């Protein structure tokens, strides 16, 4: 199979005082193949993609594209979709395509046919006049892909195209790209979703700028063959997980239904007696297991945050109440008749496709939007009569990085501690505590904007919990971060729930939905299902939450179409 791009011992250093961003990395992208690129936050994935795209030069080694140096390659034959949308949000879908056609030198006589093909391919034809800023996350990614394909490329570079995109949209995006590979395009797909890497023909794993391993997904599976088990007991899986992770021969673990899924050290085993009468059975390895193993294992499941957090004493009231919450913007209904309650010490997950109404529901409960109909309460504070009190009783981590990028980390911490009413010695100690817990010390003087994504998310969570609220709202808290950071975050979340904190969370990682006590699924502004993760899987006849999510959405589509 012909090669469309290659990195040979590529090295790149941005700061002489720091280790290189890339250190003698080798990579090959074949024609008509799906090549996966994975690694922790800050491992060098984006730098490597930008070098292959000819946007920056390596300090040593060679980057070759279509047989010559990457920086001399014919740009019309390279498609590049950056990590952050390279779209103009004040322009319509069609205007974005027209702009990219101009930038890429597409002859005017070819534009009508090209736009028609791309709009049909991405299913954006009905939305030509919609502003890009008004598209859902999945539709933005499809438009970004269309812009990258204005001229049919031989090499397509995709930098985490699935970030912030729901499972249905991710599946559609994957199928589109796989179609392109079938037409002979060589594709490099960088991803934080390791189930996507599992579908690639070959995968390259970077860490701290070095290539740790490359091979087929099956090669990665072989790394952990015979070392993955599922452990179940009669008690809550969320309480079993930290006890299992505390065992010296357990390298990683996650909640899976009523049990926990564990990765064992080579030759390791689970001490069943120590865990109190659990059942242990083998389970097939996944790509994520090898990823964690190659990086030395994950966190121990504990939480320094929870250890220092106050205990929330129950007072007999619900922590969060939503009763028929509805929000209309003119003729458009963003959320309709949303109802659920969350008890202290409970995790409730709001799931749904992009644009379904999850964030609107969040904002109503946070007091940031006034409901058109319905009512709700947070920590006993009525959203209509005591919005200020409701806001002070919760911590909110927004879907997009909501802090001030032009302020330093220290300034952000100081500002938000004041917003949440902390002052004097209490304020100083709260800032010191979260700085240590979230390892922010090295960044205190740095502006928040350029920080690695994982540390941005840590800072956002730190700001949300400084005042030790009884209620925590987390809107896609782990979007785009690697599995190690996700494990760390869920260790903190589980620890806080153990202290009595109520958590309302949205996520597009369906494995994370397993951590929720109950889940509500929102689609087309309506709540179409609710129950425990196992109840939803049983209802959909599915083995995983991702399969259940897709099946329930497809069923709702059929029901709504029949009703219409």
Intrachain domains 3-215 and 307-393+470-563 with the same fold: yes
Cα angle: 375, vertex 381, 382; to 5 degrees = 25
pLDDT at position 166 is 82
319: alpha, beta or left? (left if phi > 0; alpha if psi -120 to 50): alpha
Partners of 263 in beta bridges: 228, 252
Distance CA 129, CA 124 (A): 10
Question: Residue 175 — φ and ψ, nearest 5°?
Answer: -65, -40
Determine the Cα–Cα distance for residues 531 and 330; give it in Å rounded to an integer: 32
- Highest CATH level, class, for 3-215: alpha beta
Residue 542, pLDDT score: 93
85 Cβ contact partners less than 8 Å away, ≥ 6 residues apart? 132, 140, 141, 144
Q: Which CATH number fits domain 221-301: 3.40.640.10, 1.20.58.1030, 3.30.70.100, 3.90.950.10?
A: 3.30.70.100
Residue-by-residue DSSP string for 385-432: T-HHHHHHTEEEE-SS--S-TTSBHHHHHHHHHHHTT--HHHHHHHHH
Cα–Cα distance between 109 and 189 in angstroms, integer? 32
Q: What DSSP assignment string belongs to 234-258?
A: SS-HHHHHHHHHTSTTEEEEEEETT
Within 10 A of 527 (CB to CB), how many other CB atoms are there? Answer: 22
Q: Residue 535's pLDDT is what?
A: 94
What gap in Å lies between CA 309 and CA 536, rounded to an integer? 33
CA–CA gap between residue 44 and residue 24 (Å, rounded): 12
**109-138 residues labelled b (16+ CB within 10 A) or e (exposed):** eeeeebbeebbebbebeebeeebbeebbbb
Measured distance between the N- and C-terminal CA atoms of the chain, rounded to whole angstroms: 50
Ordered strands of the 259-264 beta sheet: 250-256, 259-264, 228-232, 279-282
Class of residue 481 by CB neighbours under 10 A (exposed 0-12, middle 13-18, buried 19+): buried
Give the per-residue pLDDT at 277.
80
Q: What's the DSSP call for residue 79?
A: E
Residue pair 526/552 in contact (Cβ under 8 Å)? The answer is no
Return the pLDDT at 25: 98
Crossing angle of the two packed helices 108-121 and 93-103, in degrees rounded to 10: 130
Runs of H (alpha helix) within 37-156: 45-52, 93-103, 108-121, 137-148
The series of mean pLDDT values per 10 residues for the chain, 564 residues long, is 94 93 97 95 92 96 96 90 81 94 90 91 89 83 88 92 82 88 94 89 96 96 96 86 92 90 94 89 94 86 89 90 95 94 96 87 88 92 79 81 83 92 94 95 90 86 94 89 88 94 92 92 94 94 92 90 74
From the CB of residue 395, how many other CB atoms can be counted at a distance below 10 Å?
A: 23
Spell out the CATH class of 307-393+470-563: alpha beta
| CA–CA separation, 392 and 416 (whole Å) | 12
The confidence score (pLDDT) of residue 193 equals 83
Q: Where are the domains of the chain?
A: 3-215, 221-301, 307-393+470-563, 404-468
Grouping H, G, I as helix, E, B as strand and the rest as coil, residue 85 is coil
CA angle 6, 12, 17 (to 5 degrees): 165
Predicted local distance difference test score (pLDDT) of residue 257: 80
d(CA 357, CA 328): 11
Query: What are the backbone angles phi and psi of residue 333, rounded to the nearest 5°?
Result: -100, 115
């Amino acid at each position: 199979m012909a090669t469309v791009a290659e990195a040979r011992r590529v090295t790149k250093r941005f700061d002489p005082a720091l280790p290189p961003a890339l250190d003698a990395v080798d990579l090959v992208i074949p024609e008509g193949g799906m090549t996966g690129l994975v690694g922790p936050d800050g491992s060098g994935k984006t730098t490597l993609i930008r070098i292959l795209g000819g946007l920056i030069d390596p300090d040593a080694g060679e980057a070759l594209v279509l047989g010559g140096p990457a920086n001399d390659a014919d740009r019309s034959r390279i498609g590049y979709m950056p990590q952050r949308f390279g779209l103009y949000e004040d322009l319509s879908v069609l205007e974005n395509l027209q702009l990219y056609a101009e930038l890429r030198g597409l002859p005017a006589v070819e534009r009508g046919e090209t736009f028609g093909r791309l709009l049909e391919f991405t299913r954006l034809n009905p939305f030509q006049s919609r502003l890009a800023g008004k598209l859902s996350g999945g539709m933005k990614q499809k438009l970004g892909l269309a812009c990258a394909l204005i001229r049919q490329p031989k090499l397509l570079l995709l930098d985490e195209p699935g970030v912030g995109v729901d499972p249905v949209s991710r599946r559609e995006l994957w199928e589109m790209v796989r179609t392109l590979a079938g037409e002979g395009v060589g594709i490099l797909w960088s991803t934080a979703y390791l189930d996507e890497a599992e579908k690639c023909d070959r995968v390259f794993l970077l860490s701290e700028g070095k290539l740790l391993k490359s091979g087929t997904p099956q090669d990665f599976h072989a790394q952990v063959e015979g070392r993955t088990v599922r452990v179940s007991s009669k008690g809550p899986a969320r309480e079993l997980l930290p006890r299992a992770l505390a065992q010296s021969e357990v390298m990683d673990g996650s909640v899976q239904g009523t049990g926990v899924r564990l990765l064992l050290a080579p030759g390791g085993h689970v001490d069943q007696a120590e865990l109190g009468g659990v059942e242990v059975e083998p389970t097939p390895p996944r790509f994520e297991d090898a990823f964690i193993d190659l990086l030395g294992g994950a966190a121990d499941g504990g939480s320094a945050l929870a250890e220092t957090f106050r205990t929330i004493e129950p007072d007999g009231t619900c922590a969060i109440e939503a009763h028929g919450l509805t929000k209309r913007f003119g003729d458009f209904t963003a959320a309709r008749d949303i109802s659920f309650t969350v008890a202290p010490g409970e995790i409730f997950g709001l799931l749904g496709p992009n644009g379904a109404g999850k964030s609107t529901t969040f904002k109503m409960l946070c007091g940031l939007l006034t409901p058109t109909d319905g009512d709700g309460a947070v920590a006993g504070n009525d959203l209509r009569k005591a919005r200020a009190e409701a806001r002070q009783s919760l911590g909110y981590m927004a879907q997009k990085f909501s802090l001030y990028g032009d302020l330093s980390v220290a300034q952000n911490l100081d500002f938000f501690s004041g917003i949440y009413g902390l002052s004097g010695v209490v304020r100083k100690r709260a800032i010191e505590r979260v700085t240590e817990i979230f390892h922010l010390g090295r960044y205190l003087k740095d502006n928040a904007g350029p920080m690695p994504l994982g540390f941005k998310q840590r800072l956002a969570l730190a700001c949300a919990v400084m005042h030790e609220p009884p209620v925590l709202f987390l809107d896609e808290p782990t979007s785009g971060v690697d599995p190690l950071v996700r494990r760390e975050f869920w260790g903190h979340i589980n620890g806080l729930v153990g202290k009595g904190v109520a958590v309302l969370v949205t996520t597009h990682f369906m494995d994370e939905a397993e951590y929720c006590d109950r889940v509500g699924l929102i689609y087309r502004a309506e709540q179409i299902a609710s129950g425990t993760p196992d109840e939803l899987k049983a209802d959909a006849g599915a083995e995983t939450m991702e399969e259940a999510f897709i099946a329930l959405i497809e069923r709702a589509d059929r029901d709504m179409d029949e009703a219409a």
